[in-house]
C-alpha cells in the first residue's frame, strides 16, 4: 500500500489542479520509498522537485483565484506561503546535510496537504466551477 492513496474523493473537478495534486501525492510516495535507504542524493533531488512542483501548483491556484476574483485569495495565499517557506527552509538544510527526510516530515506534509485541500482548495475550486472554469 502506498504512503498516500489518492482517490476520487480528492477530485475537485478543475483538471489542472487535480493533476497537480495527484503529482504531489506521487512525489511524496517516491520520497517515502527512500526512507531509511541512505540515498541522500535521491532524497535531495526529490525534495527539490517537490519544491518546484509546489511553486508551480501554488502559482496556478493563485492565478486562477485572481482571474476569478475569488474573495478569500489573501488567506489562501498565506497558507501556501507559510507551507512553501517551511519546505524551502528544510531543503536548504537538507542540501547542507544538516537535515534528513523523516517519516515525521512526510506525515506533516501529508497532513497539511489533506487539510489544505479540504479547507482551502475545495472552497476555491467550487467557486471556479460555479464560474464555469474547468
43 binds Fe ion (CB under 5 A): no
What crossing angle do the helices spanning 40-67 and 73-95 adopt, rounded to 10°? 160
Q: How far apart are CA 10 and CA 56, in angstroms?
A: 19
Give 10 or 121: the residue with its C-beta nearer to Fe ion: 121
Give 40 or 60: the residue with its C-beta nearer to Fe ion: 60
86: cell is: 517551511
What crossing angle do the helices spanning 40-67 and 122-130 adopt, rounded to 10°? 40
Query: Which residue from 61, 70, 94, 125 is in contact with Fe ion, where contact means CB under 5 A?
Result: 61
Return the range that interacts with Fe ion (CB under 5 A); candidates 30-38, 43-51, 54-62, 102-110. 54-62
Binding site for Fe ion (CB under 5 A): 61, 120-121
Amino acid at each position: 500500500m502506498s504512503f498516500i492513496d489518492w482517490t476520487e474523493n480528492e477530485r475537485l473537478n478543475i483538471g489542472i489542479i487535480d493533476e497537480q495534486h495527484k503529482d504531489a501525492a506521487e512525489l511524496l510516495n517516491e520520497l517515502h520509498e527512500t526512507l531509511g535507504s541512505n540515498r541522500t542524493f535521491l532524497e535531495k533531488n526529490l525534495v527539490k522537485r517537490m519544491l518546484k512542483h509546489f511553486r508551480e501548483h501554488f502559482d496556478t491556484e493563485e492565478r486562477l483565484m485572481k482571474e476569478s476574483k475569488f474573495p478569500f485569495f489573501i488567506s489562501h495565499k498565506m497558507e501556501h506561503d507559510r507551507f512553501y517557506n517551511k519546505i524551502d527552509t528544510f531543503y536548504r538544510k537538507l542540501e547542507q546535510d544538516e537535515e534528513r527526510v523523516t517519516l515525521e516530515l512526510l506525515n506533516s506534509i501529508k497532513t497539511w496537504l489533506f487539510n489544505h485541500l479540504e479547507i482551502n482548495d475545495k472552497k476555491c475550486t467550487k467557486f471556479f466551477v460555479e464560474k464555469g472554469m474547468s
